[in-house]
C-alpha cells in the first residue's frame, strides 16, 4: 500500500470544495440496476469504492460512459454473470447487489461482501427482511444463494435495529414488489433520503424519507433520467476538524450544513466560531486550541460513527478531558494505538475512549487500519512536530476524493509514495 510523508505542524486554512457523497452514491449506483432506461448521475466522487462498483457493473454487462458524470445503461445485462470474488469482498456495499439482481434475474449466487476492519457488520438483517419480502435466501460456503418467484411481495417490516444497510436492501427489493411495503424504525440518514429522492425522480412510489416509517408501493416500471448526488457530509466534517485541530480557518463550499447539525453543535462546544449558509459552512478557531468535548455515536440524527475518529484526534490535543463512546461498531478503535505512538494520552475501556488533551503530538511511523482512521492519522501528521509517515493510506482513497491535493491547498505538507 501507499504511504504519506507529512511534515508538521501546519495551520490549515482556506477554502475547499466538498465532493459528492460516497455513502449516497453507492446505493444509488446499485439501485440503477433496477432501471432499464439510460441514467446520468452527476457529482459522483472519484473514489476506489466507486471504481469497484463500475468494475462489478462491467462484469454484469452494464454499459457505462465515465466522464464528468456517469451515464449508465443496464438494458442488456449478461444472463451468465460471474463477479470476481476479490471485487465483491473489497467493499461492504456489494451487499446491495442482492435485491436488484433478484429483481432482474430471480436468482443469484455471489460471494459475501467485505470492507474495512472496523468490526462485525453481519448481514443477518438483510437476509431476514428479504425473506419477509418473499426471497428464499441462505449462506453456504461463504456465498449468498437466493431466489424469488416472480416478484418480491410487499410486507410490514418492523426493524429490530436501526440499520442503514438493511433499510437500503429493503427499499431496493420493494420498488417493484407486489402490494405495499412498510418499514418501521427505518434509518433516517441523509444518504437514505438521497437514494429515495433519486428513485422518486425515476418514478418510484415512496413516502416517508427522513422519518422512522417509509412506505413503498410497488410500481411496474422506472424511467431513466438525470440526478445529482448530494454532498459528502463526512468529508465536510473532516475538513472542519482539520481547522479545529490546527487553530485554522476553513470554508467548506458545496455542502449542506443542515445535515451536520450535531457535528456543528459539538464543534461550537470546542470554542470554534461556526458560520453557515445555504450551501456552505465555515470554522474559525481564531488561533485557539479547542476545548475537549464528549461524544456518543448513534444513528442519525445522533453523532455519526464516521466522525468518531476525527473527534478523538481533536480531543487528543484539546484542553481538558473527554470520553468518546462508540455504539455502532465494536472494533473502531484500532487507530488509538497509533495515536499513542504520537504521544496521545488516551486509553480504551470497553467501547469507550478516555482522553486527556496534551500540548502537541509528535511525529512517528504509523499505520492506517480503515478509511476514517486513515484520514484522522493524516490530520494528526499535519499538526504533529516533525516528519510523520502514515502507511496503508490507500484506505483513504476509498472515501476521500483527491485528498492530498485538497489538504495541500489548505497548507498541508504531504507527499505520497506509491508502492509499485
Positions annotated as catalytic residues are 116
CA neighbor of 327 nearest in space, from 350, 297, 348, 372: 297
Q: Which helix (H) or strand (E) holds 73?
A: strand 70-73
Inter-residue contact 298 to 161 (CB < 8 Å): no
* Integer Cα distance of 51 and 407 in angstroms: 22
Longest Cα–Cα distance in the chain:
64
> Beta strand pairing status for 386-391 and 365-367?
parallel
Q: What angle do CA 332, 333, 339 make, to 5 degrees?
A: 140
Torsion angle defined by CA atoms of residues 90, 96, 97 and 102, in that order, rounded to the nearest 10 degrees: 150
Q: Is the peptide bond before 9 cis (omega within 30 degrees of 0)?
A: yes
Could you tell me whether strands 213-217 and 225-228 are parallel, antiparallel, or unpaired per DSSP bridges?
Answer: unpaired
CA distances from 196 to 50, 211, 326 (A): 19, 12, 28
- Three-state secondary structure of 183-224: EECCCCCHHHHHHHHHHHHCCCEEECCCCCEEEEECCCCCCC
Q: How far apart are CA 276 and CA 47, in angstroms?
A: 27
Closest CA to 308 of 231, 370, 229: 370
Q: Which residues contact 368 (CB under 8 A, 6 or more apart)?
A: 335, 338, 374, 377, 390, 391, 392, 393, 395, 396
Rounded Cα distance, 213 and 312, in Å: 33
Cα 251 to chain center, whole Å? 22
Specify the 3-state DSSP secondary structure of 325: strand
Amino acid at each position: 500500500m501507499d504511504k504519506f510523508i507529512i511534515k508538521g505542524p501546519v495551520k490549515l486554512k482556506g477554502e475547499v470544495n466538498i465532493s459528492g457523497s460516497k455513502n449516497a452514491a453507492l446505493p444509488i449506483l446499485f439501485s440503477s440496476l433496477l432501471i432499464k432506461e439510460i441514467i446520468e448521475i452527476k457529482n459522483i466522487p472519484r473514489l476506489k469504492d466507486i471504481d469497484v462498483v463500475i468494475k462489478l457493473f462491467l462484469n454484469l454487462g452494464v454499459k457505462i460512459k465515465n466522464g464528468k458524470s456517469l451515464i449508465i445503461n443496464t438494458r442488456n445485462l449478461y444472463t451468465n454473470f460471474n463477479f470476481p470474488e476479490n471485487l465483491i469482498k473489497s467493499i461492504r456495499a456489494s451487499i446491495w447487489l442482492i435485491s436488484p439482481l433478484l429483481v432482474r434475474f430471480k436468482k443469484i449466487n455471489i460471494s459475501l461482501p467485505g470492507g474495512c476492519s472496523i468490526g462485525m457488520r453481519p448481514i443477518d438483517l438483510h437476509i431476514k427482511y428479504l425473506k419477509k419480502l418473499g426471497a428464499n435466501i441462505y449462506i453456504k460456503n461463504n456465498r449468498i444463494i437466493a431466489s424469488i418467484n416472480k416478484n418480491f411481495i410487499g410486507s410490514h417490516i418492523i426493524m429490530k435495529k436501526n440499520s442503514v444497510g438493511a433499510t437500503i436492501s429493503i427499499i431496493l427489493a420493494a420498488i417493484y414488489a407486489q402490494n405495499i411495503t412498510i418499514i418501521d424504525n427505518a434509518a433516517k440518514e441523509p444518504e437514505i433520503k438521497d437514494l429515495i429522492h433519486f428513485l422518486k425522480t425515476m418514478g418510484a412510489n415512496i413516502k416517508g424519507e427522513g422519518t422512522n416509517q417509509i412506505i413503498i408501493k410497488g410500481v411496474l416500471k422506472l424511467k431513466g433520467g438525470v440526478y445529482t448526488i448530494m454532498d459528502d457530509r463526512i468529508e465536510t466534517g473532516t475538513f472542519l476538524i482539520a481547522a479545529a485541530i490546527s487553530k485554522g480557518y476553513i470554508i467548506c463550499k458545496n455542502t449542506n450544513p443542515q445535515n451536520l447539525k450535531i457535528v456543528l453543535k459539538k464543534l461550537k462546544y470546542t470554542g470554534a466560531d461556526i458560520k453557515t449558509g445555504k450551501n456552505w459552512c465555515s470554522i474559525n478557531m481564531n488561533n485557539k486550541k479547542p476545548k475537549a468535548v464528549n461524544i456518543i455515536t448513534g444513528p442519525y440524527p445522533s453523532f455519526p460513527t464516521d466522525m468518531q475518529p476525527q473527534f478523538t484526534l481533536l480531543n487528543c490535543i484539546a484542553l481538558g478531558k473527554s470520553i468518546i463512546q462508540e455504539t455502532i461498531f465494536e472494533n473502531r478503535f484500532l487507530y488509538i494505538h497509533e495515536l499513542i505512538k504520537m504521544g496521545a494520552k488516551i486509553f480504551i475501556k470497553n467501547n469507550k475512549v478516555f482522553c486527556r488533551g496534551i500540548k502537541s503530538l509528535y511525529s512517528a511511523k504509523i499505520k492506517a487500519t480503515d478509511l476514517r482512521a486513515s484520514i484522522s492519522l493524516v490530520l494528526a501528521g499535519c499538526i504533529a512536530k516533525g516528519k510523520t509517515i502514515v502507511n496503508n493510506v490507500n484506505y483513504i482513497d476509498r472515501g476521500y476524493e483527491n485528498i492530498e491535493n485538497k489538504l495541500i491547498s489548505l497548507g498541508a505538507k504531504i507527499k505520497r509514495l506509491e508502492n509499485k
